[in-house]
Amino acid sequence: MLKQIEGSLGVAEAVALCRPGVVCAYPISPQTHIVENVGKFVKTGTLKDCDFLNVESEFSAMSVAIGSSAGGARTYTATASQGLLFMVEGIYSASGLGLPIVMTVASRAIGGPINIWNDHSDSLSQRDSGWLQLFCESNQDAVDTHIMAFKIAETVGLPVMVCMDGFVLTHAFERLDIPSQEVVDKFLKEYEPNEYLNTSEPISMGAMVGPEAFTEVRILQQRKMARALKVIEDVTKEYRELTGSKSGGLLDCYNCENADLKLIILGSSVGTAKDEIDRLKKEGINVGIISLKSFRPFPYAKLAEAIGDTKQVICLERAFSFGGRGIICPEVKRAMEGKNCDIKTVVAGLGGRAIYGTTINGIVKNALDGKFTEEFTFFDVDASVLNSYTQKTEGVSFPNGPICQSQIDNSVNM
Amino acid sequence: MKKKAFAVTLDPATSLSNHTGSWRTLRPVNVFKLPPCNNQCPAGENIQQWLYYAGEGDYEHAWRVLTEENPLPACMGRVCYHTCEGKCNRGFLDESVGINSVERFLGDYALEHNLGFKMPSRETGKKVLIIGSGPAGLSAAYQLRRFGHKVHIVEMGQEPGGMMRYGIPVYRLPRNILDAEIKRITDMGVEIECGRKVENIEAEKKSGNYDAVILCLGASISTNVDIPQGDTTSILNALNVLGEIETRGDIQIARRVAVYGGGNTAVDVARSLRRIGAEPIIVYRRNRDKMPANEEEMDAAIEEGIQVKWLSTIAEARKDSLKIEKMVLDENGKPKPTGEYEELPADAVVLAIGQNVDTSVISKISGLNMEKDSVVIDNETMMTSVDGIFAAGDCASTDRTVTRAIGMGKHAARSVNAYLNGRAYKKAEKHEIAKFEDMHPWYYTDAPKQIREELEAARRCGTFDEVQKGLTEENAVFEARRCLSCGNCMECDNCYGVCPDSAIIKLGAGKGYEFNYDYCKGCGVCAQECPCGHIKMVPEQI
Amino acid sequence: MLEKIKFYQTGSNTVGNRMLNPAMRTIQASEDRPNSLISGHRACQGCGEALGARYAIDAAMKATNGQIMLVNATGCLEVFSTPYPESAWQIPWIHSLFGNAASVGSGLAAAARILAKKHGQENAPRIIAQGGDGGTTDIGFGPLSGMFERNDDVLYICYDNEAYMNTGVQRSSATPPAARTATTQLVGDAPGADWGKGKDVPLIAMAHGIPYVATATVADLRDLENKVTKAMSFHGARYIQILVPCPLGWGLNSSSTVTAARLAMETGFFPVYEAEYGKVTSVRKIRQKQPVLNYLKLQRRYAHLTGKKADPNVVARLQAMCDQNIKNFGLLDDDNTEAAPVAIQAFERNQSV
Amino acid sequence: MLQIRLHGRGGQGVVTAAEMLTLAAFYEGHHAQAFPSFGSERTGAPVVAYARIDDKEIRTHEPISKPGVVLVQDKTLLGSVDVFGGLDPNGFAIINSKDDPEIVVPELCKFLPKGHVFTVPATDFAMQKIGKPLPGAPMLSALAAVTDILKLESVQKAFQERYPGKVGDANAETAALAYNYIKGV
């Protein structure tokens, strides 16, 4: 059913349609509207047989989720940024125990300095947590992905993070197509755990495993991730057939036929980029966009296929690794191992700095003009802000425009 | 449940495959110790055992255990000086267990419910002659009968019982009780022939073709001392006085009577005389501490208004007074004369300074060794120097108490039984004694000793009614339950409960416990928390 | 008749006692006790925690006839009971983290309630979350307080052995003053743990106004079982702190576990009481009062207080601490069930001024 | 695609107005998108909200830097904030004021084609009908009157659906006042 509503409400409705047994929440912007609404559904009785817990911290939120999921209830929670980091110990525990929890991460920068606006440093910091990480490019995508996420998690036996850009999506008021309860019930059966705590068949969950079996335990976790690649595609296919939606999948290609350049983008900037790509097309510039939906598991083969024989790829990254480089780019290079393809990172949109069509336009032009001479470049830099400090303190000044790694390195050597 | 996660999820109780017993360097074992009461009892009663059943209310079972060693519990519950209580470990906690009172309760219970002894399962056809039907004789007869031997007792008195009848006053041992317990023995088929004195024991043995003889003729003659006296003063001896009171219920005697001696007999005499209206005064050479008489008895006597002249000997007896010489105790506590004299008004003197064995008959037995006035016996076999002739009781002992006599009678009987089967008798080995230090008193609940009701002193003087009453069932059970079960298991479940490894198996009521050495790590908590000191940690043989 | 005669040798101080009727015996006395924590676990010899856990959980199993699910914080109990491939638990059990047992308990309770509702069962299984003093009074304290505050239907049991034993005996906020731990060594002019530090979690629990709070020790099994049984008769958040001596950490003979716990009670060192809705309702009186020195003597962690070079003032301070407890909780006199106790640390801090 | 930027102060319902605007558009079968300028604004602080209306799916999520219409709910912002920055030279501006545009924003009147700058006493209308200074509904109806992209009824319906009962009706009436005020010009 079509509705003109806020993204957060859309997600809350999607979650409610999945009939979770337990939802726990600790407030942090920009995730608040989602859990506020789920809480409301529980209170009004729209969402039946569901326990909504207001806990005292994200650490507890994740822990409650672990308990309820281990207890055999379909479990949901949401967080962002610092909250996600406060959960981390539990996040690893949840994946280690194979608990199919679904959690929204309303992606937001990590402090300090404290910053409430959107980028991907929180979600990507959990790259190695053993969770599936699915990114959404629009609120419609978010609504559908949440519904699929429960099925994927429960099929694979691993928890899933649904990452949607904070504010940009969560607070955007848009037209959304919310599937009916009947459709969702048909798609998502009542949760039947592989194993859960119950008094008729006692088990001990969470044993201590020493060197004699730890490696094997890890291999089995990696195997679940391998299975997840297939499951994500199957579930997406089933969901699309059922609802006619275009959401989900491992990745999504736009204008990729014989494009001279391909941009790999995660999240809400994909939409902005698509519009800009269309404008560029009119200028005769042919650029493709690969919207990376599944960051974990990372679809190496699918991605290589999507890139095809394109010679130039830019990863638009909204987080990076201090002292290192990009986070997405190395993965793409792995995917393209041995193929003759130029892959680079362009960092933009950190801590809420808006990514405009013009930003995309600039990146494309610079790329095609071969202006990105290095693997790692900060694109949307305001040199004046930077210089206002470095000139005073060290007499160092940066030129306007993108700043690449060597410029940073050299500025130190002076 | 579908598929469980590998390694992270485990099945319940799988740890049982991990036998932690291999960690052990010490292993717990049960030790069975000899309770101090059992060890002390001259009759060798298994006190702890019968208290155990009494505490559970199984009085018959308790009585049966008791009478394994002692056929006269109702009597003993009254006249035994219960030195066992002096050794009771509970004494260190509050007050010793009232063993004697529970014994009397059981004895009386058995009489009320006409409990009888079982007849022997088979007759051996062997015949044993017992001279004397005092406690030793009756005990021996009873035990021999249980073995299935034929027993014939010859008693010179008119009625059976020996000193229990002619030495112990009625107010301590009502005769109906005595008669009933003797009858129970005769009901087993023991013959008692009264009013005959065996003059020639060897001849009697031959003529009656007895396979063995046990001498139980006691110490029936009062010791005499020679006191200078005017012929007018009357000097009597204790046994005659007691005997007369027993048979006639009264005795012609002056009002002011000096009882000379400090033993139990002296006290019995004094208290008896008090009851027939005399004013007895005990004259004794030493002081109260040195007095051999039982303390409780002495207290009772003083309560009844009997006076005592300590540190005094009778130098001379005049018509209506005695010349008393004061004594002092030397460093060894021996009385020494001082040469100081005083007058004590008295119309009569009763000598209660000891008893002797009547050697007139036994001295005729050829080759029978005697020492002073008692028969010499082998401590192990109780046999005299003459083959086939055994001895028990006062005639063969210097410790002349009823209980001791019963114990000796028992051993003599067992020895005779062995003798009749051509074996040499050996007394059973004694276990290590249970010491209070080995126990864990914290666990025992506080419980005051139950006191037996007594006839108030005022009323006692006019009557021979029994002074001490028995315990009610309630009190008796309570008292029995005060037993600490020293050194032996009382099934408190402590070991079973406190084992951090659940390595003790409970076998069920009355069956106790077993250590599960597969899992026992040897921590020793069970041993430390056992109230009774029944568990010991011993090094593993590695 | 016999029932009427109340005194039985050891009365109710021992585990069972053959003369008590079965109803009056502890669960540990019965041949078919649940043995929730079964043999073969890898706890040290004489482990008080292994003992306390079996005591408490068996009692809860009896009270709910088997409807118990356990959440275990990281720590000795978790490590020695479930090292792959063997579990010593006979009942549903889960371990997640060091600091989150209370929250996992809340979640599990919620799930149990919802599932029971779905499957039309009248009673959902009951949840017990448990951990050591480290996991409870320190790292897990936030989640614990949250669980209390929400009054979630979870019984939290803290097995208090007064230090981080699993990691090698480091000081926790439950470590008593002057005690040796690896992080409060017996060196310098104030050996052992500092005075006036630490927190009284039972009192903090009471301050949440939750239905039931109690302390107990492995030395008074009947008291412990009664408290667990009572705790299970309430719904909502409940807390029991059980003193479980650790032979390794305290420097006890492995056989002295129960004895040490008993002395902790009988000296007033560890007050044993229970409270409902924030108010003390009953206090376990001292049976045979003992000087604190008898307690210290058993433990090498107090070696510096019992040897020749011992500082009598420190012993005196510990004795004063015990006396203060006795006063605060009315551990000796009979009229003090209305006691409004204060954390002993307050007394210590006051002292050290 | 029509892009609208709304300026106001925290507490004046600027963000709500943007949402109501898209809701109204939604009723008329348009695709629409509204979003606030994100941040932790407090009451009284300058607030910006954005709205897009189009007839095909709106994919972009960039902030609006070149609006076709600017709504100023609080004219005290005029001095402090560059509310008309990036405004399309052929765009429209509507300011909450009872004074004439020439008095309120003389320069803008020169910059934009004649008849592209409007003022409407939205707060006055709101005070009349709602009793609170909530100029959202009248501003939207004014927009409807100016651009004809929406019907008055849609604006009214949006408020009535979102705030069923008195509040919604009051807003609807206020909206009518403003609509007619503009049309009357």
A120 and A59 in a single domain? The answer is yes
Q: What is the pLDDT of residue B210?
A: 97
The domain in which residue A273 lies consists of 251-380
Mark yes or no for CB contact D22/A4 under 8 Å: yes
Evaluate the omega torsion of the peptide bond into residue A112 and state whether it is cis, within 30 degrees of 0. Answer: yes
User: Which tokens belong to B24?
Assistant: 């052990």
Least CB-CB distance to B5: which of A98, A201, A202? A98
A164 and A191 in a single domain? The answer is yes
In a domain, A373, yes or no: yes
Q: Which residue of C has its CA nearest to A59?
A: C100
Q: What is the DSSP letter of C170?
A: B
A20 and A139 in a single domain? The answer is yes
Burial of residue A386 (CB within 10 Å: 0-12, 13-18, 19+) is middle
A105 and A237 in a single domain? The answer is yes
Q: Which residue of C has its CA nearest to B97?
A: C9
User: Which tokens belong to B288?
Assistant: 């109260």
Give dist(CA B415, CA C8) in Å, integer: 40
Give dist(CA B68, CA B61) in Å, integer: 11
Which DSSP string do the residues of C151-185 spell out, in sequence order? T-SEEEEEEE-SSBTTTTSB--TTPPTT--BTTB-
Q: Which residue of B has its CA nearest to A96?
A: B8
- Identify all chain C residues contacting B18, using CB atoms and an 8 Å cutoff: 40-42, 86
In a domain, A401, yes or no: no
User: Which tokens belong to A95?
Assistant: 């994946």
- The CATH number given to whatever domain includes residue B190 is 3.50.50.60
A236 and A261 in a single domain? The answer is no
User: Which tokens belong to D96?
Assistant: 């909450």
In a domain, B2, yes or no: no
CATH architecture of D2-184: 3-Layer(aba) Sandwich (3.40)
Mark yes or no for CB contact D22/A174 under 8 Å: yes
Helices and strands of chain A, counted as H and E runs = 14, 17
In a domain, A210, yes or no: yes
Supply φ then ψ for residue A348, to 5 degrees. -155, 160
Task: Please state the domain count of chain B.
Answer: 4
Question: How near does any CA of chain A get to the CA of D101, in Å?
Answer: 31
User: Which tokens belong to C125?
Assistant: 């299984």
B190 and B338 in a single domain? The answer is no
C81 and C129 in a single domain? The answer is yes
Give dist(CA A119, CA A137) in Å, integer: 13
Helices (H), A126-169: 139-156
| C-alpha neighbours within 13 Å on the C-beta side of residue B284 | 25
Q: Which residue of D has its CA nearest to A169?
A: D61
3-state secondary structure of B316: strand
In a domain, A408, yes or no: no
H-helix or E-strand containing A332?
A: helix A328-335
- The DSSP bridge partners found for residue A315 are A264, A345
Spans of chain A, pLDDT less than 70: 413-414
Q: For residues B135, B140, B142 and B145, what is the CA-based torsion angle, rounded to 10 degrees?
A: -160
Please name which of A173, A312, A20 lies closest in space to residue D50, comparing C-alpha atoms.
Answer: A173
Give dist(CA C100, CA C142) in Å, integer: 9
Which residues make Cβ contacts (< 8 Å) with residue B338, sequence separation at least 6?
B325, B326, B327, B328
Q: Say what angle helices D14-27 and D136-147 make with each other, to 10 degrees.
A: 40
Give dist(CA A266, CA A136) in Å, integer: 7
Best of A63, A74, A192 to disrupt the C interface by mutation (most C CBs within 10 Å)? A63
Task: Please state the domain count of chain C.
Answer: 2
The domain in which residue B508 lies consists of 14-32+489-539
A404 — contact with chain D (CB < 8 Å)? Answer: no
The domain in which residue C18 lies consists of 1-32
A226 — contact with chain C (CB < 8 Å)? Answer: no
- The CATH number given to whatever domain includes residue B467 is 1.10.1060.10
- The CATH number given to whatever domain includes residue B506 is 3.30.70.20
Are residues C232 and C63 in contact, defined by beta-carbon separation less than 8 angstroms?
Answer: yes
Give dist(CA A414, CA B381) in Å, integer: 116
Which residues make Cβ contacts (< 8 Å) with residue A211, sequence separation at least 6?
none
Best of D38, D42, D159 to disrupt the A interface by mutation (most A CBs within 10 Å)? D38
User: Which tokens belong to D62?
Assistant: 């960039």
Give dist(CA C316, CA A287) in Å, integer: 84
Are residues D23 and D41 in contact, defined by beta-carbon separation less than 8 angstroms?
Answer: no
Give dist(CA C112, CA C122) in Å, integer: 11
Q: What is the pLDDT of residue C336?
A: 58
Residue C253 has pLDDT above 60, yes or no: yes
Q: Which residue of C has its CA nearest to B525?
A: C255
Are residues B47 and B38 in contact, defined by beta-carbon separation less than 8 angstroms?
Answer: yes
What would the pLDDT profile of A86-129 be if each residue is shown by its tens digit? 999 999 999 999 999 999 999 999 999 999 999 999 999 999 99
Q: Which residue of A has its CA nearest to B9?
A: A205
B213 and B243 in a single domain? The answer is no
- Identify all chain A residues contacting B10, using CB atoms and an 8 Å cutoff: 203-204, 207
- Terminal CA-to-CA distance of chain A, rounded, Å? 62
D/A touch flag: 3 or more CB pairs below 8 Å: yes
H-helix or E-strand containing A8?
A: helix A7-17
Least CB-CB distance to D33: which of A2, A174, A356? A174
Q: What is the pLDDT of residue B1?
A: 42
Give dist(CA B371, CA B392) in Å, integer: 15
What would the pLDDT profile of C19-69 be if each residue is shown by its tens digit? 888 888 999 999 999 999 999 999 999 999 999 999 999 999 999 999 999
* pTM beyond 0.80: yes
Please name which of B42, B180, B194, B177 lies closest in space to residue B132, comparing C-alpha atoms.
Answer: B194
H-helix or E-strand containing B402?
A: helix B402-420
Spans of chain D, pLDDT less than 70: 39-41, 185
Between the CA of residue B343 and those of B235, B305, B323, B324, B349, what are the distances in Å?
Answer: 17, 21, 5, 6, 14
A264 and A239 in a single domain? The answer is no
Best of A60, A88, A91 to disrupt the C interface by mutation (most C CBs within 10 Å)? A60
Give dist(CA B401, CA B407) in Å, integer: 10
- Identify all chain C residues contacting B17, using CB atoms and an 8 Å cutoff: 40, 86
Please name which of C18, C79, C10, C17 lies closest in space to residue C49, comparing C-alpha atoms.
Answer: C79
B346 and B262 in a single domain? The answer is yes
Q: What is the mean pLDDT of each run of 10 residues along chain B (542 residues)?
A: 84 97 96 96 96 94 97 96 95 94 97 96 96 97 97 95 93 95 97 94 94 94 81 80 84 86 91 89 91 90 90 87 90 89 90 89 90 89 95 91 96 96 90 94 89 83 85 92 95 96 94 97 97 96 79
Task: Please state the domain count of chain A.
Answer: 2
Q: Which residue of B has its CA nearest to A206?
A: B8
Give dist(CA C281, CA A280) in Å, integer: 79
Give dist(CA D117, CA D54) in Å, integer: 23
A208 and A70 in a single domain? The answer is yes
C116 — contact with chain A (CB < 8 Å)? Answer: no
Are residues B106 and B54 in contact, defined by beta-carbon separation less than 8 angstroms?
Answer: yes
Q: For chain C, how many residues are written?
A: 353
Which residues make Cβ contacts (< 8 Å) with residue C66, sequence separation at least 6?
A199, C34, C91
Mark yes or no for CB contact B481/C40 under 8 Å: no
C270 and C144 in a single domain? The answer is yes
What would the pLDDT profile of D105-121 be if each residue is shown by its tens digit? 999 999 999 999 999 99
In a domain, A411, yes or no: no
Please name which of A413, A138, A137 lies closest in space to residue A294, comparing C-alpha atoms.
Answer: A137
Best of B2, B3, B9 to disrupt the A interface by mutation (most A CBs within 10 Å)? B9
Residues 5..24 of B with a Cβ closer than 8 Å to A: which? Answer: 5-12
H-helix or E-strand containing A23?
A: strand A22-25
User: Which tokens belong to B104?
Assistant: 């009397």
Least CB-CB distance to B1: which of A96, A98, A201? A201
Helices (H), B276-336: 295-303
Residue C99 has pLDDT above 80, yes or no: yes
Q: Which chains touch B (3 or more CB pairs under 8 A)?
A: A, C
A264 — contact with chain C (CB < 8 Å)? Answer: no
C169 and C257 in a single domain? The answer is yes
C249 and C274 in a single domain? The answer is yes
- The CATH number given to whatever domain includes residue C59 is 3.40.50.970
Report chain D residues touching chain A, CB-CB < 8 A. Answer: 18-19, 22-23, 25-26, 31-36, 38-40, 58-63, 65
Q: For chain D, how many residues are written?
A: 185
Give dist(CA A137, CA A123) in Å, integer: 15
Helices (H), A162-314: 181-187, 214-243, 269-282, 300-307
Question: How near does any CA of chain B get to the CA of A220, in Å?
Answer: 8
Give dist(CA C326, CA D142) in Å, integer: 79
Q: What is the pLDDT of residue A413?
A: 67
Identify the domain boundary among A243, A272, A305. A243
- The CATH number given to whatever domain includes residue A367 is 3.40.50.920
C16 — contact with chain A (CB < 8 Å)? Answer: no
B157 and B255 in a single domain? The answer is no
Question: How near does any CA of chain A get to the CA of D61, in Å?
Answer: 6
A283 and A189 in a single domain? The answer is no
